[in-house]
Chain A
């Protein structure tokens, strides 16, 4: 009997010793640096970083640890290079304040880099004065949650991205706030990711940038006042739901730029006060449903090689140009949209206008050809030629019609 108790006791001691320990780090503790704590820690330990300033860089996390900051301890990289590199699976980093990431023209220094590791969680971080923010490299099944990234980027060539994914699949990026970097969120070769509830503003280039990434979903995000809006390029089967794109103003600025995008779904988004709401180039089989286009210069600019797109039940409100085409060929359908510029009537009062609406104006065709003619916008002469083109189309695609234009704004 006593032997059994002894055995159990020993087991207990052993598990206790083996089981996750807490290691505390503070400026006056025996362990006063994060790097030192990581060296001493065993697998699955928790390192608790107390409030204070830690001047460290090139911290490498090579075991599955949880690093927990209490009251946002400050880790100062002193502009010397990368701050934290994660090279082990199942690492959690929570509640740190990281500043002064080094800038390099040969290496992409990041505040936190995850390298070939899976099942990581990066949350509640505040990153400032950075080159790259959170850099995920060939790492899968991670979660980037509730971080605040505030850069100080001035020029594109010497600034990095807020959250960058490279060959990383199944990542969830939620509730982050990114501003003043080059690209707010950048995905390259990353599939099956979810990007939700983020705010990306005042970035030099794009708020969100997709390259060669398929089957991703981004929803409920806000992209505001970025250099060129949001760019989605060379990707398939992307779902874009309930996002807000606004005030992306500039000489080459878009709410959203679609290039070589196939089989996507764009639903419930709001495009407000952008120079160009959506710029479409070489994009096929996309469904545009229930979007609001409000007070944009151009709501939708179709550049060419766009086939089999459907625009159904969208609101086009007070845009200077609703749709602009640069060719006479049309293979896209417009149906049951509300156009604030519609002038037809509805005799049987079923909510559908009796006269089809032609969303492409002759003037938008002229502006495409000779951009300087924009100065004649809203001139009486332009109204006259637009009207005559509406009656008998010569230059604009003949079959580009909304046969069932709604007479009331759609509310969902």
Chain B
């Protein structure tokens, strides 16, 4: 598996798209710092970008890589290699190279700007950690979709739909259900609803570090009490890890059964 991982990783490192992705984040980080002149404000703007763009790019890139390297995969399948190690190697190759582009692309301009001397360093590291989690989650989901559909168009369609659902539609349904059941105590429901969607969970985690005064309103206090404590933080990260493990398990089982 490690050999395939290494191969995929170097293959991607040499590819144009990784550089584009890296350059995009580098530019974004620099422009934000240049316009804002303030680390904490830049971190807030960056949060919006990461919450929306990282899952999108992870999904699209994952699907694209799978379909593009399909012939090579078939060649590998002809060799005496374990199926799970082929697909996991490819998956981790993609996910790690994407995470690296994200961390380096955003990290370099912030470090030059004096991140280590700033108090925003914890907010910033949390931002990068959740960004990495989101990359891993959405690349895994993308591989799942690509494995399930031979048809490229169908695969891309479902991948985009998945992103659209988790990034936007889910929140709409969530909001509707909260308003619909407003006569009932909702704090448990809203906590569970947030936990179930990795994008919402990441957003809430970062938000509690930034918009504290708003969230400390009388309902916000409940969320702060949950997400703000170590217990809440551990639960949140555990949920994110589960969000990575479940799709990976499905990649393994699906790839074993799949007829190429």
Residues of A within 8 A of B218 (CB): 251-252, 371
Contact yes or no, A274 B171, CB < 8 A: no
Taken together as a complex, chains A and B put the C-alpha atoms of A203 and B194 apart, in Å, by 35
Minimum C-beta distance from A252 to chain B (A): 6
Any chain B CB within 8 A of the CB of A359?
Answer: no
Residues of B within 8 A of A321 (CB): 214
Q: Number of contacts between A and B (CB, 8 Å)?
A: 97
Q: Which one of A251, A318, A373, A377 lies within 8 Å of B179 (CB-CB)?
A: A373
| Dominant secondary structure at the B interface | helix
- The residues in A between 33 and 59 inclusive whose CB is less than 8 angstroms from any CB of B are none
Any chain B CB within 8 A of the CB of A369?
Answer: yes
Contact yes or no, B217 A373, CB < 8 A: no
Which of B95-103, B134-142, B203-211, B232-240 participates in binding chain A?
B203-211
Interface string of B173-214 (1 = CB under 8 A from A): 011001100100011011001100000100110010001111
Contact yes or no, B52 A380, CB < 8 A: yes
Any chain B CB within 8 A of the CB of A4?
Answer: no
Contact yes or no, A373 B214, CB < 8 A: no
Interface size class of A (residues with CB under 8 A): 20 to 34
Residues of A within 8 A of B214 (CB): 275, 296-298, 320-321, 374, 377
Any chain A CB within 8 A of the CB of B172?
Answer: yes
Smallest Cβ-Cβ distance to B210: which chain A residue: A378
- The residues in B between 214 and 238 inclusive whose CB is less than 8 angstroms from any CB of A are 214-221, 223
- The residues in A between 111 and 146 inclusive whose CB is less than 8 angstroms from any CB of B are none
Residues of A within 8 A of B213 (CB): 249, 273-275, 295-297, 320
Any chain B CB within 8 A of the CB of A10?
Answer: no
Residues of B within 8 A of A369 (CB): 179, 182
Minimum C-beta distance from A74 to chain B (A): 41
Contact yes or no, A318 B41, CB < 8 A: yes
Taken together as a complex, chains A and B put the C-alpha atoms of A375 and B196 apart, in Å, by 13
Interface string of A367-391 (1 = CB under 8 A from B): 0011111111111111010000000
The winner among A276, A295, A375, A384 for most chain B CB atoms within 10 A is A375
Known: A297-B214, A298-B214, A382-B171. A374 touches B179 (CB 8 A): no
Any chain B CB within 8 A of the CB of A366?
Answer: yes
Any chain B CB within 8 A of the CB of A304?
Answer: no
Any chain A CB within 8 A of the CB of B47?
Answer: yes
Known: A251-B217, A320-B211, A373-B178. A379 touches B187 (CB 8 A): no
Minimum C-beta distance from A43 to chain B (A): 56
- Between A and B, 27 residue pairs with Cβ closer than 8 Å are A249-B212, A249-B213, A250-B216, A252-B218, A275-B213, A275-B217, A297-B211, A297-B214, A298-B214, A320-B211, A366-B175, A370-B186, A372-B219, A373-B178, A373-B179, A373-B190, A374-B217, A375-B193, A375-B194, A375-B200, A375-B204, A376-B174, A378-B211, A379-B171, A381-B168, A381-B172, A384-B168
Q: Which residues of chain B have a CB within 8 Å of any CB of chain A?
A: 41, 47-48, 51-52, 167-169, 171-172, 174-175, 178-179, 182, 186-187, 189-190, 193-194, 200, 203-204, 207, 211-221, 223
